[in-house]
Amino acid sequence: MPTTQKLNPRTFPRPPLCERTPRHLQVVWNGTTIAETKDAFWVLETYHPPTYYLPPSSLKVPLQPTPRSSFCEWKGRATYYSLANPANPGDTVKDRVWSYDSPTEGFKGIRGYLSFYAGPWECFVDGEKVEAQPGDFYGGWMTSDIEREFVKGAPGTRGW
């Protein structure tokens, strides 16, 4: 869904909107595609770039749950995972992938779907390499169509 129109996170809804997106999403780690889909959801929340949720069937490497969890007032309790680098299985990254196994009613579409922080792997939306949402707390993916001056995340932005 390439767009020439800028997406203004200031106008995204609160509570957030969860909907299917036809965008082509890809996660690549050391040259190996570890997830790819055109069948994903995005969550749009005020002052955040989209957070993408990929179906578990798009994942090409195994995940292992970790003890970490967190709670979102909108989506519920998140489960986190570790995964091994396909180029070097001894290199394992923890807690950079998460899902909601029992999300709230408004987010039931993303049940079991996986979201990735943008790093240590490279994430792409419609072929464009994304940047991580500032601050490393939220998992939004920054693309060139996002109006960056309206993004929360870095210290000192929107109440942080």
Instruction: Convert the pLDDT of each residue in 88-128 to its tens digit.
Output: 888 999 999 999 999 999 999 999 999 999 999 999 999 99
Averaged pLDDT of the chain: 92
Q: How many CA atoms lie within 13 A of 131 on its CB side?
A: 12
- Strands 114-116 vs 122-125: parallel, antiparallel or unpaired: unpaired
From the centroid of its chain, how far is CA 63? 16
In degrees and rounded to multiples of 5, residue 121 shows phi and psi of: -85, 170
* Domains of the chain by start residue, with CATH: 9-150 (2.170.150.40)
**Average pLDDT for 68-72:** 96
Question: Taking the model in full, what pTM does it have?
Answer: 0.92
